[in-house]
């Protein structure tokens, strides 16, 4: 405080009177807070007691501040140290400022009765300066609490995303997810892409904002060169990802399947991560691309779940319709409608009809090259699976005696 401000401080007698009346001021402040603020009356008893402690500490700090002859004693966030950290979660910054305003009003109204004649203006100026300092101190407390919560939430978020990627839906993940507000989030989708070249934190914030605009939830984590996003409360994740595709780094962006809740998200994460690893095998893939559209490539990189999924979607239903299976095999082997008709000894229209039935049954159109590739791979995988389960007995070896005699009923010379 400047020397000019110090000369206008109340005199020693006024300061002693104010110090002796601190208890009266505290009681009056609490009564005014209760009368003016409904949010205070709605607080649980423990939290109301914390607010009372803060009010008393604020008045005590004002008395100590006035008692400092130099006028240089700063008002710090220690004023709020009497209340636990949880108070910043119980009441908002706006409510805290309401609290400060009520306390300052009481001090302004009451302190003049305690001031010596001639000190009234000095007391008024002191209250104004103190109220400014205490407001800044409150803002500092909430800023520090927000930073601490942000850092803690970021660690929790990273742990939850890591648990989802590992498929560890245990009690610890449940408690962490609940702390982040994800305990009841439904319609969850995992997205995997490349880390952007710029600030990863800015990219994550932009994705959160895009999700919030669509009333969706988002968790995110950067793992080396991989950016993983978990979207919740949305059945249209592709729309959100398309809107922020430029935020990801260069390369594919893969969406896993949507699952009912976070604790089933391991399946979505596995598909997204394996899809990201396999996406380079399909250079023409859209961006973003669904993990289910990358089943053939995922099979080739060793994704056993994709292998089973491809066989179950295509080979299994075709095997229940022998004519459709024969038509699919003939069409893929011959390379065309007319050639397949000749191989099957049927009219081309029959082949055309059966191709339509195959598309209805499996969702794959053999006249589309990529779908044909997926069907061929699925049928091959099914045959290999059959061979592994029920291997054929090899034909007996043909042997001959050293003197050319017959062995196994076959002439030795043959």
Q: Please, are residues 214 and 234 in contact by the beta-carbon 8 Å criterion?
A: yes
Query: Which of 46-55, 228-237, 389-398 has maximum average pLDDT?
Result: 228-237
Q: Please write the tens of the pLDDT for every residue from 282-307.
A: 999 999 999 999 999 999 999 999 99
pLDDT of residue 318: 95
* Residue-range domains of the chain with CATH: 3-148 (no CATH), 167-290 (3.30.70.2730), 304-389 (1.10.10.2840)
In terms of Cα–Cα distance, which of 295, 288, 244, 251 is closest to 274?
Answer: 295
For the stretch 109-143, pLDDT in tens is: 776 677 777 777 777 777 777 777 777 766 666 66
Could you tell me how far CA 147 lies from the centroid of its own chain? 19
- State yes or no: pLDDT of 269 exceeds 50: yes
Complete DSSP assignment for 59-84: HHHHHHHHH-TTS-----GGGGGGS-
Euclidean distance between CA atoms 229 and 178, whole angstroms? 18
Phi, psi of 9 (to 5 degrees): -80, 155
Other residues' Cβ atoms within 10 Å of the Cβ of residue 16: 15
113 versus 153: the higher-pLDDT residue is 113
213 or 68, which is more confident: 213
Residues 6+ apart with CB under 8 A from 76: 137
> In this predicted structure, what is the pLDDT of residue 355?
95
Percent of the chain at pLDDT exceeding 70: 80
Asked whether the predicted pLDDT for residue 29 surpasses 70, the reply is: yes
Structure tokens at 141: 């407390």
Rounded Cα gap, residues 74 and 66, in angstroms: 11
The tens digit of pLDDT for each residue in 74-103 reads 554 555 554 545 555 567 767 777 777 777
- Rounded distance, CA 261 to CA 202, Å? 27
- Give the strand pairing for 289-290 and 217-223: unpaired
For residues 322 and 23, which has the higher predicted lDDT (pLDDT)? 322
What is the overall mean pLDDT for the chain? 80
Which of helix, strand or coil describes residue 376?
Answer: helix
Rounded distance between C-alpha atoms, residue 172 and residue 188, angstroms: 19
CA 60 to chain centre: 45
- Please check the confidence at residue 409 and state whether its pLDDT lies above 50: no
Q: Is the pLDDT of residue 3 over 50?
A: no
Task: Check whether 199 has a pLDDT greater than 60.
Answer: yes
pLDDT at 406: 43
pLDDT score for 147 = 53
**How high is the pLDDT of residue 6?**
47
Cα 355–Cα 356–Cα 362 angle in degrees, nearest 5? 85
Question: Token pair of 5, please?
Answer: 């401000």
**Confidence (pLDDT) at 321:** 93
Q: Are 251 and 271 in contact (CB under 8 A)?
A: no
pLDDT tens digits, residue range 219-267? 888 887 889 999 999 999 999 999 889 889 899 999 999 999 998 999 9
- Measure the CA–CA gap between 108 and 120, rounded to whole angstroms: 10
Higher per-residue pLDDT: 348 or 56 = 348
Average pLDDT over every residue of 356-370: 94
**How does residue 339 score in pLDDT terms, banded at 50, 70 and 90?**
very high
- Cα 127 to Cα 18: distance, rounded to the nearest angstrom: 12
Q: Report the relative pairing of strands 289-290 and 254-255 from DSSP bridges.
A: parallel
Tokens representing residue 333 in the block: 């082997």
Is pLDDT above 90 for 348?
yes
Residue 271 CA to residue 288 CA, distance in Å, equals 14
CB distance 63 to 79 below 8 Å: no
Q: Name which of 224-228, 351-355, 404-408 the model is least confident about.
A: 404-408
Tell me what the mean pLDDT of segment 49-74 comes to: 70
Q: What is the rounded distance in angstroms from the CA atom of residue 318 to the CA atom of residue 46?
A: 68
Above 50 in pLDDT, residue 34? Answer: yes
Query: 302 phi and psi, to 5 degrees?
Result: 95, 20
Give the pLDDT of residue 97: 73
Phi-psi region at 394: left, alpha or beta (left = phi > 0; alpha = psi -120 to 50): beta
Give the strand pairing for 259-261 and 289-290: unpaired
Is 70 or 174 the better-scoring residue by pLDDT? Answer: 174
Residue 218 has pLDDT above 60, yes or no: yes
pLDDT tens digit sequence for 323-336: 999 999 999 999 78
């Amino acid at each position: 405080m400047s020397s000019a401000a110090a000369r206008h401080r109340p005199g020693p007698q006024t300061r002693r009177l104010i110090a002796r009346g601190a208890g009266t001021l505290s009681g009056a402040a609490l009564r005014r807070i209760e009368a003016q603020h409904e949010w205070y009356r709605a607080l649980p008893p423990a939290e109301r007691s914390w607010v009372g402690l803060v009010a008393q500490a604020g008045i005590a700090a004002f008395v100590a501040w006035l008692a400092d002859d130099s006028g240089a004693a700063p008002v710090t966030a220690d004023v709020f140290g009497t209340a636990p950290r949880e108070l910043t979660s119980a009441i908002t910054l706006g409510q805290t400022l309401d609290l400060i305003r009520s306390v300052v009003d009481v001090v302004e109204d009451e302190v003049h009765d305690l001031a010596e004649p001639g000190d009234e203006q000095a007391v008024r100026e002191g209250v104004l300066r103190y109220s400014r300092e205490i407001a800044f101190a409150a803002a500092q407390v909430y800023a520090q609490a927000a930073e601490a919560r942000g850092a803690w939430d970021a660690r929790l978020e990273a742990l939850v995303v890591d648990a989802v990627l590992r498929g560890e839906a245990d009690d610890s993940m449940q408690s962490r997810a609940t702390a982040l507000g994800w305990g009841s989030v439904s319609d969850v989708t995992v997205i995997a892409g490349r880390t952007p070249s710029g600030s990863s934190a800015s990219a994550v914030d932009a994705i959160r904002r895009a999700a919030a605009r669509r009333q969706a939830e988002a968790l995110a984590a950067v793992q080396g060169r991989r950016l993983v996003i978990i979207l919740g409360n949305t059945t249209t994740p592709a729309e959100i990802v398309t809107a922020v595709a430029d935020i990801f780094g260069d390369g594919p962006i893969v969406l896993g399947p949507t699952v009912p809740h976070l604790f089933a998200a391991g399946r979505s994460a596995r598909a997204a991560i394996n899809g990201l690893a396999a996406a380079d095998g399909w250079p023409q893939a859209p961006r973003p691309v669904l993990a289910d559209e990358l089943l053939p490539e995922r099979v080739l990189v060793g994704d056993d779940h994709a292998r089973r999924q491809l066989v179950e979607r295509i080979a299994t239903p075709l095997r229940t319709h022998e004519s459709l299976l024969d038509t699919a095999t003939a069409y893929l082997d011959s390379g065309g409608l007319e050639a397949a008709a000749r191989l099957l000894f049927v009219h081309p229209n029959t082949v055309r009809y059966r191709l339509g039935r195959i598309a209805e049954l499996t969702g794959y159109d053999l006249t589309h090259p990529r779908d044909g590739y997926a069907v061929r791979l699925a049928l091959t995988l099914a045959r290999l699976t059959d061979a592994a389960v029920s291997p054929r007995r090899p034909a007996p070896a043909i042997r001959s005696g050293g003197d050319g005699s017959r062995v196994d009923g076959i002439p030795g010379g043959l």
